[in-house]
Amino acid sequence: MTAAFAARVDAALADPVLKIAVERTAGTAEAKRTLAVDAFPDFEAARTRAAAIKDHVVANLGAYLERFEANATAAGATVHWASTAQEACDIVLALCRQAKAKSVARSKSMLGEEIGLPHALAEAGIERIETDLAEHIIQLAGERPSHIIWPAMHKTREQVSALFKASHHAPHEEETIAAMAESARRHLRDAMLGADVGISGANFLVADTGAVCTVTNEGNAELSLVPPRMHIVTAGIEKIVPSMPHAVHLLRMLSRSATGAPLSQYTTFYTGPRRPGDRDGPAEMHIVLVDNGRTRMRREGLAEMLRCIRCGACMNHCVVFRQIGGHAYGGTYPGPMGAVLTPAIDGLAASRDLPNACTLNGKCQEVCPVRIPLPTLLRGWREKSWREGLEPASVRSGLALWAWFARRPRLYRAATATALKSARLMGGGWLSRLPLAGGWTRHRDMPAPAPKSFMDQYRQGRRR
Amino acid sequence: MSARDAILAALGPASGDDLDRAAAALLIDPERPPVDPTQLEETFAARLLLPSVAASYAAVAGFADVPAAIAAYCAEHGLPRHLCAPPDPRLDAADWSGIDRHLDPAPDEPLALAVAECGVAETGSLVMRTAPTAPMLPNFLALHHVVVVPRLVAYLEDALPTEPMPRGYYWITGVSGTTDIEGTYVRGAHGPRYLHVIRLISEN
Ligand code: SF4
């Protein structure tokens, strides 16, 4: 593992507040998802269908994008295409300038984070109003999101309270979460209603209607997209669905997997700009379709990752994420999906640690609503990293990887606890499945695993 | 080469299947929570009570009874009889004496009224669409959101538009809520803190 990654992990593990904050939210999400999935008639079949819908789209992506473009254009929207993050930001900035925008209201979009839009807007001197409560919190803190559904998951109420008191004009007096949310409501409302441009992402792009779908619990997307005169959408090209009923199926999966609700509070389909006679709505709608590595992922063995609907279930159920939180991953996307995506977006050389920071216990794959084989894709990155000689020989042996975990007792115990429970550690689990695990397999003739015997074994190994 | 051409070239030609046939095949018998078609009223009313929806509910006969239902809601919540209402002819036909209605929402609008296209028993969702008679902003701005529901359908699919999409087509399934601080649920993050459904029984 690189020193930078190890340092981030160690800082995270040493932060007692972080662990509490992550556990509070991820634990609740895990419990709610379980209830929702158990109440659903046949969630396993529904996952298979969801995966098939996305596979069909990814296999025919060019045709669907053209169809989406034609229908969105017919509805009066303007469609733009961007191969890279830079191109996408340039298009957005040019549109903002064209609208003479002094301030833009953004509703949470991971694609926006991925392409560095917050930074680009700042450089261009355009005021950015983050309207999602969590994004507002991390904007005040000058941080990046640590989770794709709850970007401020790493913050405790005490930290949020301090941030709001330092920057809201009429901050809360009572130290309750409700009072803090109310303070943000007061603070954000005027700014939001006065913005010149509204920028959103998209949960889905509906090919046969040209509609753009957003999903929120707060209603901040609608509140920030309806008043300004221009609505700009930035969306990854994989967000396409063939038609509205396909979107319905994926929406059922998304909300249950993310928050456990049958449907999120606000699901909105935007089709073109304001129409004659409408009392509100933007005069212009622009949609920026962004590649940023997706066509390459499709070509180079990561097509399955393009199924991802960004529900966050894989990270909520990941033993490593629950210990270290999202920032330690160092990219836009944390957790198991981030460990697959980040090397594809930022390059493997810069992020080769991520596929290693995984126990391959398979939990992420079990909960993924679109059946992405995350452990297999992670193993693919490991092998590539070894093949390309990015890893030192000690890591290739597998033992070094195990030792890396073992030197972090909290992480190690969390990792092995699940592995042992499912009796996978010696069978098909993480260590034995490591390619080129010669260094480890030499030690495999030991008795059935118990966490203690591993630690003993490791200490013995160190004394030798 | 333009970005468009580069992306489409990188994606190559479609798989050669009949796209529409293949897409339709993916929709046969979708998995979804069972809804008894003879129990739409009961199911819909029950969904409104889910913690994630948490709407209050009143049933009246038709549009003519909406003003009285609004007056009752205002009395219950100690609100002045003063609301933002859409220019919907079905509402205009009712007798609004004693209630002040206006079209444009104030930034701190206390109460907004809307007419849904229908309600969905599967989820308790209220199906909305924009039109000259149906602005969108008041529904996301007001503290109290009161929605008239003239019709019910069983599933989300049954509520989808058959004609071309309106500019804004949206499902409201609860109030503006957030769990962004320590996962604790707070109502009224940006928009409505209260959602009240007036179901028009005899319109269905
Ligand atoms: S990889 Fe699967 S579980 Fe993880 S965010 Fe994407 S869809 Fe959800």
Cβ–Cβ contact A259 with B under 8 A: yes
DSSP B96-122: -TT-EEESSPPTT-SEEEEE-SEEETT
The residue among A246 and B162 whose pLDDT is bigger is A246
The ranges assigned to domains in chain A are 11-294, 409-463
B48 and chain A in contact, CB less than 8 A? no
Chain B residues with CB under 8 Å of A45 CB are 31
Mutation for B interface: A28, A265, A322, most B CBs within 10 A: A265
Q: Which of A250, A253, A309, A317 to mutate to test the pocket of ligand 1 (most atoms within 8 A of CB)?
A: A309
Closest Cβ opposite residue A265 in set B103, B130, B176: B176
d(C-alpha A120, C-alpha A428), whole Å: 45
The band of B204, judged by pLDDT with boundaries at 50, 70 and 90, is low
Tell me what pLDDT residue A48 has.
Answer: 98
Cross-sheet strand order for the sheet of B168-172: A240-241, A204-206, A211-216, A266-270, B168-172, B125-129, B118-120, B152-153
| B53: enclosing H helix or E strand | none
**CB within 8 Å of chain B, chain A residues 14-73:** 21, 24-25, 27-29, 39-43, 45-46, 49, 52-53, 56, 59-66
Test A223 with B140 for CB contact under 8 angstroms: yes
Name chain B contacts of A219, Cβ cutoff 8 Å: 140, 176, 189-192
Is residue A401 within 8 Å of A395, Cβ to Cβ? Answer: yes
Residue A20: per-residue pLDDT: 82
Residue among A133, A244, A298 whose CB faces B160 most closely: A244
- Please tell me the distance from the alpha carbon of residue A13 to that of residue A242, in angstroms, as a whole number: 44
Residues of chain B with pLDDT > 70: what percent?
Answer: 100
Three-state DSSP class for B35? coil
Over residues A148-168, the pLDDT tens digits come to 888 888 888 899 999 999 999
pLDDT at B75: 97
DSSP B134: B
3-state helix, strand, coil split of chain A in percent (to 5) is 55, 10, 35
Question: H or E element: which one contains A61?
Answer: helix A61-74
Q: Which CATH architecture has domain A11-294?
A: 3-Layer(aba) Sandwich (3.40)
Q: Where are the alpha helices (DSSP H) in A212-312?
A: 220-225, 244-258, 294-299
Q: Is ipTM strictly over 0.85?
A: yes
State whether B6 and A217 contact (CB < 8 Å).
Answer: no
Alpha-carbon separation of residue B50 from A261, B39, B124, B125 (angstroms): 9, 17, 9, 11
Given a contact cutoff of 8 angstroms between Cβ atoms, the answer to whether A337 and A372 are in contact is yes
pLDDT classification of B11: cutoffs 50, 70, 90: very high
pLDDT value at residue A404: 72
Q: Is the dihedral of CA A437, A443, A446, A452 positive or negative?
A: negative
The DSSP string of A407-450 is: TSHHHHHHHHHHHHHTT-TTTTSTTTTSTTTHHHHTTTTSPSP-
H, E, C per residue of A217-232 = CCCHHHHHHCCCCEEE
Which CATH architecture is the domain B38-200 placed in?
Answer: 3-Layer(aba) Sandwich (3.40)
Atom 3, ligand 1: which residue's CA is nearest?
A: A368
Indicate the pTM of the whole model.
0.91
Q: Probe ligand 1: pick from A341, A370, A377, max atoms within 8 Å of CB?
A: A370
Let me know: does A249 contact A46? Beta carbons within 8 Å. Answer: yes
Which 92-131 residues of chain A touch chain B by CB within 8 A?
A: 131
Domain ranges of chain B: 38-200
Query: Tell me, what's the pLDDT at A15?
Result: 86
Q: Report the pLDDT value the prediction gives residue B179, as an integer from 0 to 100.
A: 86
CA of A258 to the centre of ligand 1 (A): 9
CA of B42: how far to CAs of A39, B6, B46, B121, B200, in Å?
Answer: 19, 54, 6, 8, 14
Q: Is A137 exposed, middle or buried (0-12, 13-18, 19+ CB in 10 A)?
A: buried
Chain B interface disruption, residue of A135, A158, A183, A218, most B CBs within 10 A: A218
Mean pLDDT for chain A overall: 86
- Pick from A60, A133, A274: CB nearest B189: A133
Low-confidence ranges of chain A (pLDDT < 70): 392-402, 415-464
State which ligand 1 atom lies nearest to the alpha carbon of A311: 8
Which atom of ligand 1 has the smallest separation from the CA of A310?
Answer: 5
Pick from A49, A249, A263: CB nearest B125: A263
Cβ-based neighbour number of residue B84 at 10 Å:
22
Question: Measured between alpha carbons, how far is A39 from A224 in angstroms, rounded to an integer?
Answer: 34
Q: What is the distance between the alpha carbons of residues B32 and A57, in angstroms, rounded to a whole number?
A: 22
What is the position in ligand 1's atom list of the atom closest to the CA of A374? 1
Tell me how far apart the alpha carbons of residues A369 and A260 are, in angstroms, rounded to a whole number. 12
Lowest mean pLDDT, pick from A324-328, B7-11, B39-43, B136-140? A324-328
For strands A78-82 and A284-290, give the pairing. parallel
Q: Which residue has the tokens 């098939």?
A: A52
- Residue identified by tokens 């030192």 is A392
Nearest to A180 among B125, B181, B188 (CB): B181
Chain centroid to CA A278: how far? 35
Is A375 close to ligand 1, i.e. is its CB under 6 Å away? no
Query: Is B175 within 8 Å of A265 when comparing Cβ atoms?
Result: yes
Tell me: pLDDT of B125 over 80. Answer: yes
Write the residue with the smallest CA distance to atom 7 of ligand 1.
A308
- The reply to whether B27 touches chain A by the CB within 8 Å rule is yes
Q: Which atom of ligand 1 is nearest to the CA of A335?
A: 4
Distance CA A182, CA A171 (A): 9
Partner B, chain A 211-240, Cβ-Cβ below 8 Å: 211, 217-220, 222-223, 226-227, 237
